[in-house]
Amino acid sequence: MPPDPAHQLQQIYLAGFELKTFDRFPKCVGVVRDNCIALLVPGPDGLQMLGTPGWQIGEVMGVLTEVGGRQVFQAKQEMVEATAERLEALRRFREELRAILEEESVGRNGCADNPEPG
């Protein structure tokens, strides 16, 4: 049985992520923390990240790209420098969000609920 998206969202919220909705993406839920943002969509195995997380620039998501030989987060004409600190924040954000989504998926399948005796 796939994870319940409502339960997944609750776990994401309890982990300190902010939940947002966007008019442009009515089927997605935005997850934001420390200016990092990801879009989640329901899938056969519960909520899944749509594309790659990025950096929040105003009300839009800047994607990591390269302009003039340097890494930036870009949303249309707006750009934010992809500093080492921002890249590290994005890496942590992506890993923590992925861990919550995978934990919910594994937990619902019974694998995490029945640990092997040690």
Selection from 51, 56, 47 nearest residue 22 by Cα: 56
If one compares 44 and 117, the residue with the highest pLDDT of the two is: 44
Assess if residue 99 is contained within a domain. yes
What pTM value is reported for the model? 0.83
Assess if residue 36 is contained within a domain. yes
Position 6 scores a pLDDT of 92
Decide if pLDDT at 111 tops 60. Answer: no
Position 117 scores a pLDDT of 39
Average pLDDT score over residue span 30-34: 96
Assess if residue 86 is contained within a domain. yes
Number of domains in the chain: 1
Position 2 scores a pLDDT of 80
Give the pLDDT band of residue 32 (cuts 50, 70, 90).
very high
Assess if residue 71 is contained within a domain. yes
Return left, alpha or beta for 24; rule: phi > 0 is left, psi -120 to 50 is alpha, else beta. Answer: alpha
| Domain range enclosing 14 | 5-106
Position 20 scores a pLDDT of 94
Assess if residue 67 is contained within a domain. yes
Assess if residue 101 is contained within a domain. yes
Selection from 38, 30, 70 nearest residue 54 by Cα: 38
Selection from 72, 71, 64 nearest residue 38 by Cα: 64
Mean pLDDT over each residue of the chain, to the nearest integer: 88
